[in-house]
Amino acid sequence: MLRHFPTLLARWAGAWATMSMLTDSHRTLVIVLRQDGRAGRLEVACIDPEFIHGQVQWPDAHIGVALDGDGGFVVLDTAADVRIITGSVEIKEYL
């Protein structure tokens, strides 16, 4: 799973990021990446998030995903001071 993430995330580097949805029933935080002049979007779903730190929207996103020491994942954008600790991550590209 982690080996495909860098390729998808690199294609959307510099995009505008928005935390667009936080659901309660199946706790999921969705981050949507969009770029001006480009069709489609990239969605990063943080499933079962335990900790969310950061802005709701930020420009010039450079999101990364790494393993957390407790068996989960860390979704982060260091330059934007965004950090999410989550149980699982799914990334989907919509063109």
Least confident of 3-7, 44-48, 53-57: 3-7
E-strand ranges in the chain read 15-23, 28-34, 41-53, 57-61, 64-67, 73-77, 82-94
The conformation of residue 54, written as its DSSP 8-state character, comes to S
What are the pLDDT digits (tens) for 50-75? 999 999 999 999 999 999 988 899 99
Chain centroid to CA 66: how far? 11
Mean pLDDT for 11-40 is: 95
pTM of the model: 0.94
CA angle 78, 52, 35 (to 5 degrees): 55
Question: Quick check: 1 pLDDT over 70?
Answer: no
Chain centroid to CA 18: how far? 9
Sequence spans of domains, the chain = 5-94
Question: Quick check: 5 pLDDT over 80?
Answer: yes
